[in-house]
Structure 1
Amino acid sequence: MIATNLKLSVILPMVVSNNSPHLIIRARPMKANTDLTALLQQLLDQCQPLYSQGKVADYIPALAQVAPQQAAVAIATLDGQIYSAGAATQPFSLQSISKIFGLVMAMNRLGDELWQRVNMEPSGQPFNSIVQLEWEQGIPRNPVINAGAILVADVLVSHYSASKTAFLTFLRRLTSVETIYADQQVYLSELEHGNRNAALAYLMKSFGNIEAEVPQVLEHYFHQCAMAINCQQLSRALLFLANRGVQPHSNEQICSRRDAHRVNAILSTSGMYDQSGEFAFKVGLPAKSGVGGAIVAIVPQFGVITAWSPPLNRFGNSVVAMQLISQLAEELGLSLF
Structure 2
Amino acid sequence: MKIRKILALLCVGSLLMACSVEEESKKDNTPVVSVEKSKKEDDSAKEQVKNVEDSKTYKIELDNGENDFTEVVKSANSLEYALASFVFDLDDNGKEEALVLEGTSDEGEESYLTAYRIWFVNEDKDIQSLEELTNPGPLELSSTQEIGTFSDEKCISINGQIGIDGWGCVYYLKDGKLVNAAPDTWPKGNKYFSENGLQWTVEFYGMSIEPEEGKELIDSLATGHCYIPYDLYWGDGTFNLYKASEISKEKASEYEGLNIAEIEDGAVAVQYILRDNNELDVNRVTFDGDFYSFEAMIYDISNDGKTCKLRNTVEGYFAVDVTDYDAWDFLHKDEAN
Q: Indicate the TM-score class for this superposition, using the shorter chain for normalisation.
A: under 0.3
Identify the structure with bigger relative contact order (alpha carbons < 8 Å, sequence gap 6+).
1
More strand by share: 2
Q: Which has the larger radius of gyration?
A: 2
TM-score (norm: length of structure 2): 0.21
